[in-house]
Structure 1
C-alpha cells in the first residue's frame, strides 16, 4: 500500500469509530390524533369531469360607425357601463360641412327667387284684375311663382338631408351593458360599418366544450359546479348547442355569483357524466409537499403516521384518492381541524 494513503485511512477509521461510539438519536415522538377523524370509504360518487370554460355573453353588441370619416370624439373606455341609446362617440366627415354650406347658399338663392316670383305674380294679378293683362300673362306668372317655390323646397330638403347625413356621425350604444373592447383611438380614420366599441349585453355565461361522446350527457337544467382561483360557485346548463364542431359539443352554463368577473376569464366547470365508485376526501386531509401528496394515517393506538398517496382533483372542495389508502383507513386532518 502506498505510504501516502495510510494517514487518510487511519483518519477515516477513527471518525467511523467515533460515530459508532456516539449516542444514537432518539426516534421522534409519535403524534396523537387530534380533532375530527375521517374514515376513508369507497362509495358511489358523481363521475365529475373538469372542463376549462370561458366566461362570455349571449350577446355581443357592436357600436359601429354609420359613415366614413375621423373619430373626433370617443366618450367611453373598456370596462365602462353604458345604457342603450347613450352617445359614446362621433365621426366627422370633412366633406359634409362644405357641402352643407353650399346647399344652404343654394336654398337662400332659391328663397330670393321665390320672393321675386311672388312679387311678379302679384303685379301681374293686379293688372289682370284691371283688365290690362291677359289670362295668359297671369298663368305664366303663376307658373313661375309655383316653380320658384318648388325649387326652394327642394333646396331646403337638400340642406336637411345634408344635415341629417352629418348627424349620422353620432355613435350610440345599441344595447345596455359593459364596454368589452374599444380598440379605435380618438382621432383615427374609420370606415362606414367599422366597429368602434364592443358591448357585452345580457347575463354572462360560462361556455364549455366537451367531446361528442361525453357531451351527449349534457341536459338543460343540470346543475354544474364552477371554480375560479379562490372561489367556488354553481351554475345551470341553459343551452346545449345542436351542432358538433370538430368533434366537440358546446354548451352554456349560467353562473350564480361570478357576475363581477371580467369577460374572457377562465372558469373550471365540473360536469357530471354518471356515477362510479371512488374514495373521496375533503382537501383539508391532504397536503402536498415537494410534489408528493401526504395524508395523516391514524394507527389503532391513536398515533398519527404520514404516508404518501396518489391523488387527482375531484371537485373544488374534494380530492380523490387513486392509491395508497384502503377502505376503512382513518385519517386526521392537517391543522387539527
Structure 2
C-alpha cells in the first residue's frame, strides 16, 4: 500500500466519528432550548367572572340650589363670586326696577289719602252727620288702599336675591349692571354632600344594588365608593344612579370620573396577572406541555381587577401554565 492510499483510508474512517459528535451536540442543544416548568402550575378552567364595566360619570352634589331673580330689572349689586361660601338666606345680590318703586310711591299716596278720608268720615259719622253706609264705604276704600300699598312694596322688595341653601357658589356668571328677567338664575349654590352621578342603559342598571362597592378613578386619583341611590324613573332608556365617594374631596365639581362597577357575572377564563407578560404590545403566557416543557404562546387579554386578567383567546380548558418570575 502506498503512502497516499494509507492517508486516504485514515480520513474516511475519521469522518463518521466527527459527524456523530456533531449530531450528539445538536441534540443536547435542542433539549436545552425547552426548559422544564418550575413553580406553581395553573390549570386553565372556564368559570364565572365579574362583568366589570367602565362607565364615565360626573362629580357633583346631591342638590343644586339656584338663586334666581324674582323680578325683572337691573342687577345693581352682586356680592359673591365662584368659590365663595354662603349661608342660607344670605343676600348675594339686588335687582332693581324703578317702575316698581314709582308704583309703590303712588300707592303710598293713595293710601294716605284714603286714610285721611276715612278719618274725616268717621268724625262726621260720630257727630251724626254721615250715615253708617258712608262710613263703611270710606273704611273699605282705606283697607283696599293699604292692601295695594303693601303689595307694591312687597313686589319692589323682591329684588333682593338670597342664597337658597348653605354651600359653595359654583356659578355666578351674570355681572353687576346686567338686565335680568324674572326667574333668571343669578348664582348656583351647592347643597348636600358630594356624589358621583352616572347614567346607564336600563338593561345594565337592573344589576345595580344599593351598597354595592364601586372603583373610581379621576385625574390620576384612585378611590372607592358605594351605590347610594338608583333613581326609579327611566329617561330615554337611561337610568341615573348616585355613588357616594370616599377620597375625592380635592377634586373640582364637574370633573369626569371613571367608574368600574360589576354588572353581574359571565363565563370566561380568569388567570392571575403573574402568569402573563407583555412584550412589544403583545401578551404571552408560559404553556406547559405533558412532559413539563415550557413554551411561550401569545394570548389576547382584558384587565379585570388589577390582580387578574381575562383570557379572551389563545387558551382552552385544560391548558396548564407556569408563572413568570419562577426559576427556569
Matched, 1:256 2:250: no
CA distance, structure 2, for counterparts of residue 211 and residue 119 of structure 1: 78
Cα deviation, residue 250, structure 1: 3.4
Matched, 1:279 2:268: no
Matched, 1:239 2:255: no
Cα deviation, residue 164, structure 1: 1.0
Taking a change above 3 Å as real, the CA distance of residues 244 and 149 of structure 1, as seen in their structure-2 partners, is: closer
Report the 3-state secondary structure (helix = DSSP H, G, I; strand = E; otherwise coil) of the residue aligned with 1:184.
coil
Paired position in structure 1 for 2:151: 161
Matched, 1:90 2:80: no
Segments of 5+ residues of structure 1 without an aligned counterpart are 1-36, 126-137, 298-306, 333-337
Cα deviation, residue 98, structure 1: 1.4
Taking a change above 3 Å as real, the CA distance of residues 166 and 146 of structure 1, as seen in their structure-2 partners, is: same
Taking a change above 3 Å as real, the CA distance of residues 152 and 202 of structure 1, as seen in their structure-2 partners, is: same
Paired position in structure 1 for 2:83: 79
Cα deviation, residue 294, structure 1: 8.8
Paired position in structure 2 for 1:327: 321
- Give yes or no for contact 1:38–1:330 (8 Å, CA) kept in 2: no
CA distance, structure 1, for counterparts of residue 310 and residue 265 of structure 2: 19
Taking a change above 3 Å as real, the CA distance of residues 214 and 41 of structure 1, as seen in their structure-2 partners, is: farther
> Could you report, residue by residue, the CA deviation over 1:193-229 in whole angstroms, capped at 9, with x for unpaired residues?
2222223322222222334443332222211111113
> Could you report, residue by residue, the CA deviation over 1:239-286 in whole angstroms, capped at 9, with x for unpaired residues?
23445555544322221222442222111111113264323438xx98
TM-score normalized with structure 2 length = 0.66
Report the 3-state secondary structure (helix = DSSP H, G, I; strand = E; otherwise coil) of the residue aligned with 1:66.
coil
Report the 3-state secondary structure (helix = DSSP H, G, I; strand = E; otherwise coil) of the residue aligned with 1:140.
coil
Taking a change above 3 Å as real, the CA distance of residues 68 and 274 of structure 1, as seen in their structure-2 partners, is: same
CA distance, structure 1, for counterparts of residue 234 and residue 123 of structure 2: 78
TM-score normalized with structure 1 length = 0.64
CA distance, structure 1, for counterparts of residue 40 and residue 188 of structure 2: 52
- Equivalent residues in 2 for 1:1-337 (5 A)? 46-117=50-121, 120=124, 125=127, 138-140=128-130, 144=134, 147-272=137-262, 273-274=264-265, 276-281=268-273, 292=281, 312-315=302-305, 318=307, 320=309, 327-331=321-325
Report the 3-state secondary structure (helix = DSSP H, G, I; strand = E; otherwise coil) of the residue aligned with 1:262.
coil
CA distance, structure 1, for counterparts of residue 231 and residue 106 of structure 2: 56
Segments of 5+ residues of structure 2 without an aligned counterpart are 1-38, 287-296
CA distance, structure 1, for counterparts of residue 139 and residue 235 of structure 2: 64
CA distance, structure 2, for counterparts of residue 98 and residue 212 of structure 1: 56
Report the 3-state secondary structure (helix = DSSP H, G, I; strand = E; otherwise coil) of the residue aligned with 1:264.
coil
CA distance, structure 1, for counterparts of residue 164 and residue 173 of structure 2: 17
RMSD: 3.8
- Give yes or no for contact 2:228–2:243 (8 Å, CA) kept in 1: yes
Taking a change above 3 Å as real, the CA distance of residues 101 and 228 of structure 1, as seen in their structure-2 partners, is: same
- Give yes or no for contact 1:51–1:208 (8 Å, CA) kept in 2: yes
Taking a change above 3 Å as real, the CA distance of residues 192 and 247 of structure 1, as seen in their structure-2 partners, is: closer
- Give yes or no for contact 2:282–2:298 (8 Å, CA) kept in 1: yes
For these two proteins, the number of residue pairs brought into alignment is 267
Report the 3-state secondary structure (helix = DSSP H, G, I; strand = E; otherwise coil) of the residue aligned with 2:248.
coil
Taking a change above 3 Å as real, the CA distance of residues 109 and 267 of structure 1, as seen in their structure-2 partners, is: same
